[in-house]
Amino acid sequence: MILWCLLGIVVGVIFGIIPGAGPFLAIATLYPLLALGDVVSIVTFYVCLLITSNYMNSVTGILYGIPGDAAAAVTAHHGHKLLREGKGHMAVSNNAISSSIGSLFAVGLFIAFLPNIYSIFKFYNSTIQVVIIAVAILLLMIFSKQAIWKTAILFLLGGVLAKIGFDNLTHTTWGTFGIDYLTLGIPFSSIMIGLYILPEVLKFQNVEFKSIQKITKFGYSFKSLPSTLTGSFIGFWCGLVPGVTNILGSYLSASFAKQDINKIAASEAANNSGALSSLLPLIVLGIPIVSSEVLIYYLVASKGFTFNIDSMNSFYSILYYIPITVIICLLLSWLGFNHLAAVTAIYKKYKIWFSVGIILAITLISLNIYPVREWLLICIVGTATIGFFIRNWDTFPVLYGYFLTDLFWDNFRRVLIIYT
């Protein structure tokens, strides 16, 4: 088991530092190897992979301002800003320690609520999801650092792009204008590249970085602890909700914090807490609620095993490997932390090439995964054109709008059907 844990950590580091990769691509790549393991070994590998890739996604976001996935967008946005201000050590250390607290907090809540875990899932329904999402949207508007009308336009832009395509609930198309390609929808990777990453890269090419001295100790401030605990709690409950998971938990938790450093603490605690709690619907009910869990579900099903509330006892041993993974991730953060000044100096010197290289890497990975490559390429070019003209805006609300709008309307329509 310890070998599967270590394998998950190594693979998490590799796929975590590659923007756009993450757990799904890692499992898909290693699928034949994972098929050789037993059920508990596969889930152990996945848990360790999940924790480690979350760490590395955020570190990449802090260094280059480019999130490894949607859940790391908050940390990338605020962490890279601190890096440019000469406070990169604070961003990295808050990321590491808050992530650790979030992971351990999730384990604690899992143990605490285990006797009544089935009842907890009965509490969640479409009405609760609508309320959670509506609160998140409201907080986005209230705490936006730019003019509300700009935030509203960007949020609506993300929402409109999310709605284009085939509607699985009504089995109709929206906004396609009879164009076959548009029925496929606008891929999220094109939104992230064209409307978030590109404007951020263009915006910061002329920004001067303050020097970062070699740091000998973590710069975590205990003033961030309330934000960390708040994020851990919110992230855990958001992680239990299908379709919401740790992405909304990350955004929602950061909305309650005011300073950049506290937003990182809240977001990362929520991200890791939610990532682990999102496993519970799979283990307890046999319902995978994120794409990577679908692969794990089929791997386990191929061995004749069924996830249900009676099979939970098989996975108690995995809880011991979470603290081990957290400690190793903290060590990795510490090792990278000592070289932060050197890495930043190289990035300052070659930042345009770094940025272009990362954008190309994300584009190539996305093209390799997406089934209709020419359509994805068209979408990237289209969104990049829009992104160029709004490069001086804070385009982060576009990601919010894309993720939340579709989810909100799907649940809202279910609520209307239920009550009418």
φ, ψ for residue 323, nearest 5 deg: -60, -35
Torsion-angle region of residue 394: left (phi > 0), alpha (psi -120 to 50) or beta? beta
CA dist 262 and 267 (Å) reads: 8
| Count of domains observed in the chain | 1
Structural domain for 264, as ranges: 2-419
CA dist 47 and 277 (Å) reads: 11
Q: How many other CB atoms sit within 10 Å of the CB of residue 177?
A: 7
Residue among 87, 326, 339 nearest 224 (CA): 87
First to last CA, the chain: 51
Tokens of 135: 């609160």
Percentage helix, strand, coil for the chain under 3-state DSSP, each rounded to 5? 75, 0, 20
Tokens of 64: 């280059």
User: In Å, how far from its chain's centre is CA 94?
Assistant: 17
CA dist 145 and 94 (Å) reads: 22
CA dist 232 and 99 (Å) reads: 9
Rounded alpha-carbon distances, angstroms, from residue 347 to 13, 209, 222, 287: 20, 10, 30, 42
Residue among 196, 173, 198 nearest 183 (CA): 173
Residue among 330, 334, 63, 343 nearest 216 (CA): 334
In this prediction, the residues of the chain whose per-residue pLDDT falls under 70 are: 1, 18-21, 68-70, 114-126, 129, 136, 139-140, 143-145, 168-169, 200-201, 203-220, 241-246, 285-289, 291, 308-315, 333-352, 354-355, 358, 362, 365, 368-369, 420
Let me know: does 94 contact 273? Beta carbons within 8 Å.
no
At residue 171, the pLDDT reads 73
| Residue that the structure tokens 């799907």 belong to | 410
At residue 213, the pLDDT reads 47
The pTM score is 0.69
- Residues composing the chain: 420
| Residue that the structure tokens 């935030």 belong to | 151
Residue among 359, 319, 333 nearest 197 (CA): 359
Rounded alpha-carbon distances, angstroms, from residue 279 to 285, 291, 315, 385: 10, 12, 11, 38
CA dist 263 and 81 (Å) reads: 12
Tokens of 150: 């700009």
User: In Å, how far from its chain's centre is CA 213?
Assistant: 30
